[in-house]
Amino acid sequence: MGDIVRLREAIVTGDAEGAVTETRRLLADGMDAVCLVSEGISPAMAEVGRLFDECEYFVPELLIAARATKEVFQLLRPVLAQTGAKPKGHVILGTVQGDLHDIGKNLVAAMLEGGGFEVTDLGVDVPPQKFIEAVREKRAEIVGLSALLTTTLPAMKNTVEVFGSEGIRDQIKVMVGGAPVTKSYAESIGADGYAENAAASVQLAVRLIGA
Ligand code: B1M
């Protein structure tokens, strides 16, 4: 039998093998992959962030927790994508230029996939031009921008501006998120929507394209 508490503990302690084993068990028990993300990985990484803020964790602990999360995602992604239904829409997702944080973005990608969207994840430190190339190639309806640093908020703004100057702004909806991002900041840079967390990003994507 799998145990969601053991999964959370394995991620928080950076036990990648334990996290993968527990995920396999939970999936075999019939647990929904989306619930696994929202009830397992999401709170575990929030706990890792809290431990870091309280100086109980330092960078090495963060990195091993992030690695455990990545291994779990490798297992979950094909499961999340396996709904068989026609995708609701295509989302190009990435962390903006200069920013290397990807744990929250990966959760957003997983939840969007679980919510029936096709996701092209461009990774971290993504320059505006790379988003534009992906939008053109995939004919995507939505671009999702993540930022975790106050110092990379200007890169988020710049990315939206470049969408305008390159003539693709009218073809896409832009959604933004990340710890320093707020609804009012999103409005101030001309984004179409802001989501506070990964679950909200699915509701937002549905609303943005009327899916
Ligand atoms: Co960094 N880091 N970090 N870090 N790091 C923060 C963000 C920080 C707040 C820590 C602190 O000082 N308290 C601070 C930023 C301060 C600021 O800007 N005001 C900080 C700093 C300063 C730095 C460095 C500069 C440190 C240094 O080198 N001196 C450096 C920068 C590197 C760079 O990016 N250029 C750095 C590096 C790192 C690590 C590499 C060690 C590691 C990242 C590993 C990785 O991502 N692969 C790391 C981590 C892990 C953190 C903390 C501890 C945790 C972030 C996280 O993963 N949270 C963070 C402190 C904290 O948050 N308590 C911190 C869990 C995750 C699930 O939440 O990412 O917020 P979050 O995502 C949420 C929502 O925000 C939302 O949904 C997610 C799930 O619910 N969301 C979206 C996110 N993107 C979205 C997009 C959407 C919608 C919703 O639509 C598209």
pLDDT score of 83: 61
CA distance 111 to 174: 17
What's residue 176's pLDDT? Answer: 98
Ligand 1 centroid – CA 148 distance (Å): 5
Task: Over range 175-194, report the average pLDDT.
Answer: 98
State the pLDDT at residue 86: 75
Average pLDDT of the chain to the nearest whole number: 92
Question: How far from the centroid of its chain's Cα atoms is residue 15's Cα?
Answer: 21
Residue minimizing CA distance to atom 50 of ligand 1: 62
Question: Which residue has its alpha carbon closest to ligand 1 atom 91?
Answer: 144
pLDDT in tens, 27-59: 999 998 888 888 998 889 889 888 988 999 988
Nearest alpha carbon to residue 46 among 23, 72, 12, 1:
12
* Contact assessment for residue 20 and residue 59, using Cβ atoms and an 8 Å cutoff: no
Question: For the segment 114-165, what is each residue's pLDDT rounded down to a tens digit?
Answer: 788 999 999 999 999 999 999 999 999 999 999 999 999 999 999 999 999 9
Pocket test of ligand 1: the residue of 148, 160, 203 to mutate, having most ligand atoms within 8 Å of its CB, is 148
Question: Ligand 1 test: best mutation among 64, 101, 151, 203, most atoms within 8 Å of CB?
Answer: 101
Atom index in ligand 1 nearest the CA of residue 41 equals 67
Q: How far is residue 82 from each of residues 88, 98, 207, measured CA to CA in Å?
A: 14, 33, 23
* Cα of 136 from ligand 1 centre, angstroms: 29
pLDDT of the residue at 107: 84
Residue 16: CA count within 13 A, CB half-sphere: 14
Terminus-to-terminus CA distance in the chain, angstroms?
36
Asked whether 159 lines ligand 1 (CB < 6 A), one says no
